[in-house]
Structure 1
Amino acid sequence: MGRHSQSSSLSTTLVELGALASKSLTNTTAEHGRRRAAGPAKTSISPAMYRAGGVAAALSLAVSGGAYAATQFGESDIAPLTESQARMQAIAASGEDTADGLVVGGDVAEVSSVTEEVTDKFERVEQESDSLAEGEEKVQTEGVNGVTRVVYRVTSVDGKEIAREVVSRAVVTERVDEVVLVGTGSTSDATADTGSGSATTTATASGDGTTAASAQSIAKSMMSSYGWDDSQFSCLVNLWNRESGWNYQAQNPSSGAYGIPQSLPGSKMSSVASDWATNPTTQITWGLGYISERYGSPCSAWAHSESTGWY
Structure 2
Amino acid sequence: MGRHSQSSSLSTTLVELGALASKSLSSTSSAPSGRRRAEGPAKTSVGPVVYRAGGVAAALSLAVSGGAYAATQMGGQDVRPLSEEQVLLDAIGAQETGSAASAEGSASQEAGSEGLTVGGESVSVSTEVQETTEAHGTVEQQTDELPEGETKVATEGVDGVTRTTYQVTRSGEEEVSRETVSTVVVTPKVDEVVLVGTGTAATTTSSAGSATTTTASGDGTTAASAKSIAQSMMASHGWDDSQFSCLDSLWERESNWNYQAQNPSSGAYGIPQALPGSKMGSVAADWATNPTTQITWGLGYIAERYGSPCSAWAHSESVGWY
- The TM-score with structure 2 as length reference comes to 0.37
- The TM-score with structure 1 as length reference comes to 0.38
Report which of the two structures shows the higher radius of gyration computed on alpha carbons.
Answer: 2
Bigger strand fraction: 2
Of the two structures, which has the highest relative contact order with CA contacts closer than 8 Å and spacing of 6 or more?
Answer: 1
